[in-house]
């Protein structure tokens, strides 16, 4: 995990001698274990490390205000987790069902990401959970309300196609109209010239 997060200051054991920056430990029992990870605003540009799922004593996980990407790994083993802060990243994929199985979870902040699909109903019905999910345009409560990530692009393409098609039709109509008008004008000019020529010949023949 130290390698994945590229934390050069993490030396030796995270809970003894020199504590790791952003790491909190629970030493109330005989076995000291990592209970908190706070790496907020560290400019991290990696997927969320799945190794975090091995820290089963974790209570607080704060990874907000970074550039984390990809889907959320399976952290169903973090049964003691109470607070999960993932806001203001670039995470995508669905909001996983295993979050509903974290019975101790009190706060789940996932706003301002790229999550998509339907939010698990059990998360929405959990009154003891503070869930903040705004800023995910492709996330929805009901399946029928979901917007597909490519739907906006497709709509723009359709609108652009219709607009260009309309302009092309108008341009063709104008060109056809001009051609027809010119042909009619030439025909009228030719008829007028012929009729004037006939009159001149008739006048000459009478004299």
Q: In the chain, how many domains are there?
A: 2
pLDDT category at 190 given cuts 50, 70, 90 is: low
User: pLDDT for 94-103, tens place per residue?
Assistant: 999 999 999 9
Residues 82 and 116 in one domain: yes
Residues 73 and 8 in one domain: yes
Q: List the domain range (segments joined by +) for residue 112.
A: 2-146
Place of tokens 């054991």: 13
Tell me the percentage of the chain whose pLDDT exceeds 90.
52
Which of 146, 176, 194 finishes a domain? 146
Task: Check residue 174 and give its pLDDT.
Answer: 74
**Is the full-model pTM beyond 0.75?**
no
Q: What is the DSSP string of 133-169?
A: --S-TEEESSGGG---TTHHHHHHHHHHHHHHHHHHH
The answer to whether residue 67 scores a pLDDT higher than 70 is yes
User: pLDDT for 73-90, tens place per residue?
Assistant: 999 999 999 999 999 999
Residues 196 and 133 in one domain: no
CATH code where residue 88 lies:
3.80.10.10
Residues 97 and 125 in one domain: yes
């Amino acid at each position: 995990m130290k390698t994945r997060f590229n934390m050069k200051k993490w030396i030796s054991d995270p809970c003894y001698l020199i504590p790791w920056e952003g790491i909190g430990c629970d030493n109330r029992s005989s076995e000291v274990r990592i209970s908190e990870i706070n790496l907020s605003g560290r400019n991290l540009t990696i997927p969320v490390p799945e190794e975090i799922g091995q820290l089963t004593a974790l209570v607080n996980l704060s990874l907000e205000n970074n550039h984390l990407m990809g889907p959320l790994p399976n952290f169903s083993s973090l049964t003691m987790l109470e607070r999960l802060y993932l806001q203001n990243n670039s995470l995508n994929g669905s909001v996983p069902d295993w979050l509903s199985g974290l019975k101790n979870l009190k706060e789940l902040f996932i706003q301002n990401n790229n999550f998509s699909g339907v939010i698990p109903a059990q998360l929405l019905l959990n009154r003891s959970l503070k869930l903040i999910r705004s800023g995910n345009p492709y996330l929805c409560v009901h399946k029928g309300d979901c917007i597909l990530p490519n739907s906006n692009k497709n709509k723009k393409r359709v609108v652009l196609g219709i607009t260009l098609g309309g302009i092309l039709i108008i341009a063709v109509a104008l060109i056809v109209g001009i051609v027809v008008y010119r042909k009619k004008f030439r025909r009228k000019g030719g008829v007028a010239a012929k009729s004037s020529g006939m009159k001149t010949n008739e006048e000459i023949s009478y004299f």
